[in-house]
Structure 1
């Protein structure tokens, strides 16, 4: 009879709501924790959970060896039994980090450093050391190497782990896009496609213009014309750029000054998204060699210099 009463009391306790210091309550359990240690950690973080009762519940149900470390959330009304099941499944609370298209590598690192819940482990590393840690080949530059997307992570995850996932995502996307590229492009490697995609990403955010801008750059590469992309000059200037490009800026030598150099710059200038990758490898079937911003977010495309000069007069100089 006493045994039945103890079992009954245990069943009753396992199905009672856990009293919480705050609702919902976020907590973390360290790797390698036993059921008893996990319960003590949860209690210390604000849940009125009886460690020994939780330990016996885990042991009797055979769940003790299945509990997974990580970050979890206890909502109002959750019982010890439901909590045990959640931890056995590894149903963790996930946080989100969004990396937008067009960001630079430095902007991405700054955002990660300010993101809560991440283990900040790249602050003292050089870009080259970061690339080594994520397993990238030595010749892959960090700029443009990470796919812009929203990444879910458990509290306490490493920045290196998130960066590795973003890097692997870009390599997979780039490989697929390169394998399906249009024929006869003036691009020799997937890395060149990534560079071109980064220029397209920075030149426009308008979906209807991406393939046309890609066509202008591809057409220029084919005939040996300088790409003359302002975003590449700005990228090469770094902190020296203060909001306005001058004639002197366009005449100053730099590996990224596409008014002076021939062909593509040496590395991407930003993180291109999927649409920019597709545009770079599937440019529009047009002969345009020029484009100019209309001032409303769209661009005017021209086949000849005379047409382009007329478009500049109309949309930039406002003389027509």
Structure 2
């Protein structure tokens, strides 16, 4: 009898162990397999939430099949206490394993709202955007010029959201003074700008910010990135160029940057200035004259006067020989690369062609014909009011 009881108990124990093992395997499968979510969502985890709150929210939105398994998995992997506040993109079909990793890793929001400050040559634009989980595209919900417009309520609301992300984008061709002044007006930043960075030493690019970042730290990040670019590009330079240092490369790149906004023209524009330097010709480029007038503090806002073209300043390349003493703006990477790898041409002249680009010439006679065409275009535009 005791043997029979022991045998039955052993059988029950074995069956129970198999059932427990099966449940564990089933739970692991549910944890790792693709989830039921059909359309991506943006999950907001509010500060002070716990895994129980999050699991119920995910179950309600159809992102997971079992809130209980989700909580148990978070506890089992010791990640329940690592929950971060923020807004997180949960893609369609995301597994519980992936979701837990997403909400417990860096804490950086991957969806929700973003405020971007765009520093351009002529204006500073603030854009408020939200990620559409369905398309994974940012949708603009507000935009304004801080120098001219009052900040809309949407901007104020998003500034108060703890999980709003921030970004500052610097356009090619802006001056260091313009960047520093723009940063002074960004209310998400703190601290006073201690000094205007050296002209040309800020890398035009997009930079992630955190609310409360120090303005000087942001400027230093831009300088560090530009220095890395300068070092790398200088090492890749062609032999025999009429520039003798990274500083001269930076000056030439800044002139190229200000002379054309057409990417495919940069190599040709670079070739004109390289050819002129090699032949001992004056560069005769208007943007350097403008810099001599404004010192990089804003835009001129009008055409150059004849007196300004004749006025002697360190940057007036109609008067001085060779390169000016400093860059005239912050050049982007493409202009730096053009400065050390110009196209091989015999061009020594160029003028606007009316399409946004330029007409290039090897001889003065050919250049004069191009200038005459450009003046005809200008006259037509003035007569038609364009």
Task: Kindly state the Cα deviation for residue 153 of structure 1 after the two structures are TM-superposed.
Answer: 1.9
Deviation per residue, 1:51-105 (Å, 9 max, x gap): xxxxxxxxxx6998x899xxx63679xxxxxxx9889744234421101111111
CA RMSD of aligned residues (A): 3.3
| 1:193 to 2:249 alignment | yes
| 1:291 to 2:334 alignment | no
TM-score when normalising by structure 2: 0.57
Q: Distance in 2 between matches of 1:294 and 1:256?
A: 25
Q: After superposition, where does 1:68-217 map in structure 2 within 5 Å? A: 73=86, 89-93=105-109, 94-122=165-193, 125-127=194-196, 131=197, 142-217=198-273
SS of match in other structure, 2:167 = strand
Q: After superposition, where does 1:246-257 map in structure 2 within 5 Å? A: 246-257=305-316
Q: Which residue of 2 aligns with 1:233?
A: 289
Q: Which residue of 2 aligns with 1:48?
A: none
Kept after mapping to 2: 8 A contact 1:186/1:222: yes
- Structure 1 unaligned segments of length 5 or more: list them: 1-11, 19-60, 77-83, 132-141
Match of 2:362 among 299, 303, 307: 303
Kept after mapping to 1: 8 A contact 2:86/2:107: no
Match of 1:273 among 304, 320, 332: 332
Task: Kindly state the Cα deviation for residue 197 of structure 1 after the two structures are TM-superposed.
Answer: 0.5
Deviation per residue, 1:129-180 (Å, 9 max, x gap): xx5xxxxxxxxxx111011000012221111222111111111111111111
Kept after mapping to 1: 8 A contact 2:79/2:104: no
Higher relative contact order structure (alpha carbons within 8 Å, sequence separation ≥ 6):
1
Runs of 4+ deviating beyond 6 Å? 61-64, 84-88
Task: Kindly state the Cα deviation for residue 16 of structure 1 after the two structures are TM-superposed.
Answer: 1.9
Q: Distance in 2 between matches of 1:87 and 1:116?
A: 28
SS of match in other structure, 2:371 = helix
Q: Which residue of 1 aligns with 2:384?
A: none
SS of match in other structure, 2:221 = helix
TM-score when normalising by structure 1: 0.69
Q: Say which is worse superposed, 235-244 or 302-311, in terms of deviation.
A: 235-244
Q: Which has the larger radius of gyration?
A: 2
Given the superposition, is the C-alpha separation of residues 67 and 263 from structure 1 closer, same or farther in structure 2, using an over 3 Å criterion? farther
- Structure 2 unaligned segments of length 5 or more: list them: 1-48, 56-77, 90-99, 110-164, 380-386
